[in-house]
Each structure stands twice: as C-alpha cells, then as structure tokens.
Structure 1
Amino acid sequence: MTEKTWWDGEVVALYIAPAANEPMQEVENVLLVAEQGIVGDRYYARTGTHSGPGEQNYEVTLIESEALESVQMENKISVTAADMRRNIVTRGFALSHLVDREFRIGATVLRGIALCEPCPHLMEQTNHKVAVGFIHRGGLGAKIISGGTIHVGDCIHD
C-alpha cells in the first residue's frame, strides 16, 4: 500500500461480479489488467450488461462513499455500494475531477473516461428514487493504463 497524504483519497471497498445480474462480491484486493478490466469481473469477461457494441465499455468503475451516504440521508433509503454495481468505492477524493485525466490507485494508473449516470438497468435493480439521487454523482468509468493489484486502503492520487 502507498502512504496516504492529506490530499489523497483512499479505497474503502472493492467489488466484482462474475457475470451480468450476478450479485456483487466484496473482496480485499483485485487484479487490474490494462485495456481489459478486473480479473474475475463481468466486464473483464465481456459478460456485463453494458458489454455490447455501441456501449461505453469501462474497464473499471468507481464511486465515492460520500455520495452513497448523501443519497441515503437525503432520501431516507438504504443503498449500498453493491447496489450501485461499482467496482471501487473511494473516500476523500472528488472523482468528477478525474474525467479526461490520469490518476493512480496504489501502483496502477487509470484514466477517467466519463461520469457514470444512472441507467435504466440501475433503476430495474434498485428503485427510481435511488437512481435519481445519483444523477451527477453515480461514479466514474475509467480505462486501465497500467495494471496491477489494488487493495482496500490503497491511496488515490492524481
């Protein structure tokens, strides 16, 4: 793990799902492969809901734990990181600032591609109130520039 400074964020949870619509599994570490994804995850295997032609094929997705907490408080509902179907849950770093920028998590290098807005699939999996709460704060889709292993507790920095 890299040492955290006051301006860095950190990884607080990691999730993978072996196939579309399979439950997300919380894990302690994940192996990222450049231009492919997370080993063991649905998008690495190209079996994710958004893996088809014309889809925005992110190799990894991230979400801020602070966004999860805010939506829960504002809407008085329970929503977990697993419900949001994101791979990496962060704390202390504004992911929206990483669109079109490279950043590091531990020894890996990622490039933010676009914000992950709620989609119809998310509405089916949760409920409308949850999905609406995540407009403009549903996370970040990214490409893997340089792979490696990410662990819970690793630092995020640009």
Structure 2
Amino acid sequence: MENAKKSVELTEDELEAFSRLILPEPQTGECIYNHFAITGIRVDRVEPGFVACTLKVPPRLTDRAGNLANGAIANLVDLVGASVHFRGLPMNVSVDISISYLSKAKLGDELEITSKSLGQRGRYSGVSILVRNKATGEMIAEGRHSLFRSAASKL
C-alpha cells in the first residue's frame, strides 16, 4: 500500500509548479473540464459521417514522462467520436468506448484525429476514431465509440 501511495504523491518540484498554476475562469455555463479538453483542437474537415481534426500536444495533456496521457487520448476519442452525428437529429450520448493504445505521442507532436461513422441502427450508432502522428503517420490509438440518440422532444 505504501508503494502505491508513493507513486501518486507529488514531488517537491511538482508541488511548487502546482502552487503557481493559474486556472482560467470558465465562461458562464462552460465546464472547466471541457475548456482544457478542447482548447487547441483545430477542425480540418467535416463531411457527412466524417470529421478530421488536428492537435499539437500541449503540456496540460501530458503525463510525468512528457507523453500524451492515456486519459487525454480517451477524452479526445470521446469528443471527436461524439462530433459525428446526423444533421437534424438530437445530439448523441456515449454508451461505450473502447480504445487500443498503440504507441506514444510526445509533447509538441502534431496529431491527426479522424472520426468515421460505422453506421446507425435505430437510435444506436457506432464511430471509429484514429489518432495518428501527423509527421510520421504512426498510429497512436484506435478507438470505437458507441452512441445513443435520445428521442426528439415533442414539446
């Protein structure tokens, strides 16, 4: 238990850096979590059932080793996967996300994130998300995202 506790404790340098951290004030109604998650994402192309984005890995999304954190990858898969929805229909909610982490992305790497609709049956749809290093073409992660669309309100 002590080893586990030590592995999550911050070092003196990390505590110092944390004490100097200034968080931006979220806009009215904005979630601070979403602010950090989507800042820096550039949408390059949108077509029916397809979205392509670019992100240069910022320090706020890296782990202690300077790699893009697995949680940040999961968040990108969720956000970009959910961005593929059908025009004129209510937004989808995530039901299931599955991610294969294939390699590492480093601080400053430029990533290409693509999301493609796999299809829809009733109110259930599936999306495939690929995260690649834009310079090398190396696959960083591959995700599958299942979404459910609620019924349109009759009000």
Bin of the TM-score, shorter chain as denominator length: under 0.3
Query: Looking at both structures, which has the greater relative contact order when contacts are Cα pairs under 8 Å and sequence separation is at least 6?
Result: 1
**By percentage of residues, which structure has more helix?**
2
Q: Could you state the TM-score of these two structures normalised by the residue count of structure 2? A: 0.27
Q: Could you state the TM-score of these two structures normalised by the residue count of structure 1? A: 0.26
Larger Rg over CA atoms: 2
